[in-house]
Structures are given as C-alpha cells and as structure tokens.
Amino acid sequence: MIQFEFQKYQQVKLDSYDLENIKERFLQDNHMSGWYDLDRSCVSEIKALASKIRLQCDVFLVIGIGGSYMGSKAIIEAMSPYFSKQKPEILFAGYQLSSEYLQELLEYLQDKEVIVNVISKSGTTLEPAITFSSILSFMKQKYPQIYGQRIYATTDAMQGTLLELAKKENFHTLVVPENIGGRFSVLTPVGLLPIAVAGYDIDDLFEGAMEAKENLDNCYYYTSLRHAFYQQGKVIESFDIYEPKLASFVEWLKQLFGESQGKEGKGIFPVSTINTRDLHSLGQYYQEGKDILFSTTIFAHSDHTVFLQDYQKSLDEVNQMAMESVCQAHYEGHVPTSLILMDKISLKNLGYLLFFFEMSAMLGSYLLGISYYDQPGVNAYKKILREKLGEE
C-alpha cells in the first residue's frame, strides 16, 4: 500500500492544469506511448525463459546502459537482501568504461557458469558494445560449442548491429518494442527478464503499475506541484530515501526525469539524498543553502522488528521519526517536501511507483512544452568521442 502526503510540509498555491486532457493528447499524438499500455503479452515467455536460465547459471550478466539496465537494477536491488548472496547472482556491466571493472569482472566470471543478457535498443551504443565485445570473446573461449545458447540479446525487432550479430551468432533474441523508449522500458523484456531471473514475480509489478494507472489523481497532484515549484525558481528536486536498498531506484528516477525534462534550457535537475547518511553531508545545504530545492521523500517501512530498549521503540519507528524531523526542519528552512509512504518494499509497491513516475515525467514534459521521449543532448559527447576514436 502506498500513501501520499502532499500538504503537511509545504504551502503552495497550485494552478489547475487539465492533466486528464494532456493525457488524452499524449495518447492521440504520441507514437512513443507504448509503455502506457502495460502490455503483458511477453510475461509467460519471460517466466519460462527465466526458470530455465535460473537452473543454468551462477551469474546472469546484464550488459546495457541508461534505460537498458537501470530499471531492472532498481527493482532487483530494492527487493534483494543485503547480505545473503542469491543464486543466480545478477551482475551489471556496460554502463561505464572502467578497465578495472571489466578486468576484475572477467576474472570473477572465470570459474562461474555464466549467461549473458546484452540489451541495447539501438544496438549501437558504445559502452555496452565495447563491454559485450570482450564478454563475447570470453564466452567463446569458455563455451566454444554452445556460447550462442548462453547469450540473450534484447534489441530492436528490425534493425541494428546487435540484431545482425545475434542472427549471425544464433543468440536468443527478445524485442524492445519500437514505441517504447529506453527509460520507459522496465516493464518490457528489457527489465522483465533480469528481474524474473533474479526470482521475482513480474506479475506483481504489473499489478502495482495497473493500480497506479487506474488512480491517477495523486500523480496529477504531484506533477502540478513540482511544476509549481519550478515556476517559483526551485530548480532542483531531491529524491530522499531512508532505506539504502532504494538507492538504485532513485538513480532510475534521476535518469527518468533528467533525460525526459532537461531540454531547451528548461527542466528540474534531479538529485538523490540517502538519509540519514546524507544529513551529515548535504543536510547543511538543505537547511541553510540557496533556495532552489524541493524534496520528494520516499519512505518505506520495514518488515523487520529491531527493538531499541533505550527508547522503547522499534528502529523502524525511530527511522520514521527521523524522516518526519527532517521534513519539518527542512520545511522551516524553505525546502518543501512531498511524502510517498510505502507500507513495505514490495514488487506491487515498486510497480506502482514505476508507472506513477513515468506518467509524471511525461505529463510534466507537456507542461514544460518539450518532447519527453528523446534525449538529443546525449549525442553531443558521443559525437566528439566517436570522432576522437576515428569512427564515422
């Protein structure tokens, strides 16, 4: 269950935007609206593949960058225990160009049974392509006759270098739907296969997302609120959490809002704050720094009961009290807060939030008058780097 508390720690006069009407416009005029359908047609195939893969490997290696890995990483890390290693272990690569990481990964994989899922919608992105090239050589050496059977390529159905390679080398292929952009693709084979291989029931994610789709009032309110803050000059939104397992979830949020809305000299800059840790680093700025911040706090209760004798309270209660104290202090320091409260971290709650935030990123972009699904600015560094590498 998720509760929203928008008014306790802020007083903003909201303009009324007809977001229902914007939603209708988006559905009529947008060819990249596939994520809104919450199409479950791939679920049984993904579940069957995942059951097979789980028996065949110690490590399931996901290679991708941006929307091709952040959604599954967010969900898997939120759901996984901190200390006990689960089998198969899900590892991620191809989202940076670190030689240290790649070399140590190759060494780590040496004595493990490995299955690879390389994900790229365009099939041409540099970081995963470079990583996959090394991993492919490794797989050819480790499984000379059957490496193709141990590689799953998730990519466009019709075109791209990855698709061509998959056909040539006989990899299994899964499709990134044409009308869904990377950062909106977690509930497609892009995110669903890794999540299912990690052992999580992807139907529960859809159930939560469906609930969010059927109850859009809170999403409309949140979208209007952040737009109102933006118009007041509050150009930084911090996603604050009090459960470190949600750290990759807020990384996913940063990508979703950063790439969707940072265009044409507009947009709110998304950051994350992991509390209570960051109260001892960023907390000072929140309280007394420049007046450009607002907070969206995502608080998840815990199932575990750690009782603190000294306070005669559970640790979860103290964590909540800390969160409430921070909200109050920040409010008094001119940082308003919206609260999103989860009764626990569950697939259903996370599925709800995936759809809730995707919807808000899209609607908010319409309010800013920009296109929500592309990211033309990302090409600038790629162009320079490719020139430096002597490529076309």
Asked if 208 is part of the footprint of ligand PA5 (rule: CB under 6 A), the reply reads: no
Give the DSSP per-residue string, 319-360.
HHHHHHHHHHHHHHTT--EEEEEESS--HHHHHHHHHHHHHH
Q: Provide the minimum distance between the beta carbon of 324 and ligand PA5 in the complex, in angstroms, as a whole number.
A: 35
Binding part of the chain for ligand PA5, among 133-141, 176-184, 214-222, 286-294 by CB under 6 A, reads 176-184
**Selected binder of ligand PA5 within 23, 121, 227, 330 (CB under 6 A):** 121
121 or 226: CB nearest ligand PA5 = 121
Indicate if 211 belongs to the active site. Answer: no
| Interaction between residue 120 and ligand PA5 (CB under 6 A) | yes
Q: Which residues contact 106 (CB under 8 A, 6 or more apart)?
A: 134, 135, 138
Q: Does the annotation mark 382 as catalytic?
A: yes
Nearer to ligand PA5, 78 or 118 (CB): 118
Rounded CA-CA distance 346/355 in Å is 15
Q: Around Cβ 82, how many Cβ atoms within 10 Å?
A: 7
Angle formed by the axes of helices 217-231 and 347-368, nearest 10°: 50
What is the distance of C-alpha 206 from the center of its chain? 15
- Of 280, 290, 304, 388, which is the active-site residue? 280
Exactly one of 68, 72, 272, 319 binds ligand PA5 (CB under 6 A); that residue is 68
263 binds ligand PA5 (CB under 6 A): no
Place of tokens 């409309």: 220
Contact 377, 262 (CB under 8 A): yes
31 is catalytic: no
CB 37 within 8 A of CB 31: no
Q: Which is nearer to ligand PA5, 128 or 336 (CB)?
A: 128
Compare residues 36 and 286 and give the one whose CB is closer to ligand PA5.
36
Is residue 67 a contact residue for ligand PA5 (CB under 6 A)? yes
Residues contributing to the site for ligand PA5 (CB under 6 A): 65-68, 120-122, 125, 128, 181-183, 259, 375
Residues designated as active site: 259, 280, 382
